[in-house]
Amino acid sequence: MNSTVRSSEASSGICETPAEIGEFAMRFTSTRRGARLARRLASHRLDEWGYPYETGINESVTAIVGELAANAVRHGHVPGRDFALRLTVLAAAGGSGALRFRVEVSDTRGERLPMAPAGSGVSAAATASMAGAVTVAEGGEAVAGPGGVLAECGRGLLIVACLAESWGVDPRLSGPGKTVWAEFATEQPRPRIGPEAH
């Protein structure tokens, strides 16, 4: 497994440009165990960055990671290929205290694209298009997917759509496949990141 972890106290001088304050990236085996490990390590990294396990931020972002990782294993699995997780924390410049957590999960299967939950405002045709990013904007009413209310599965993207401000799918730039991403936003002030945060 390859991993990258970056943390900095950088801030941007341009008000519209968010500053990256933390990044965690790692590849995992495309198995249920790999998906569980991705979820646990994301939660651990958030805790290290100053968002403790029992907080809403940690729980929400970890749930998004878990659902996207599970989907990558279940629907994006290609034998012998890993999936990749990238978690980034961005802070808005200008001291507004706004934070954006971006979760990206990449797999090597490009022909099986996620479908937006029914009623979320994104058509099946738009979801199937890999020409550009497909986004599910906030405000769309999400309902249970094709499995129906009593289905035992098929609610992963419904959970993501409910928790995230937006989500979508992009073609994977570094090879075949796709990247499913979601962004969680909050107005809480950012904590100090690094060893002195504990």
pLDDT digits (tens, 9 = 90+) for 2-46: 444 444 333 333 233 455 678 999 999 999 999 999 999 999 999
pLDDT, residue 40, reads 97
Give the start-end residues of each E strand in the chain.
3-7, 19-28, 83-91, 99-107, 134-136, 166-171, 178-186
Q: Is the pLDDT of residue 158 over 90?
A: no
pTM greater than 0.75 (yes/no): no
Element (H, E) at 58: helix 56-75
Torsion of CA 68, 84, 76, 112, to 10 degrees: 80
SS3 of 89, please?
strand
pLDDT, residue 70, reads 93
Q: Sign of the CA dihedral 69, 70, 72, 73?
A: positive
pLDDT in tens, 39-87: 999 999 999 999 999 999 999 999 999 999 999 998 888 888 899 999 9
SS3 of 75, please?
helix
How far is Cα 83 from Cα 66, in angstroms, rounded to an integer?
13
* Phi/psi of residue 178, nearest 5 degrees: -145, 160
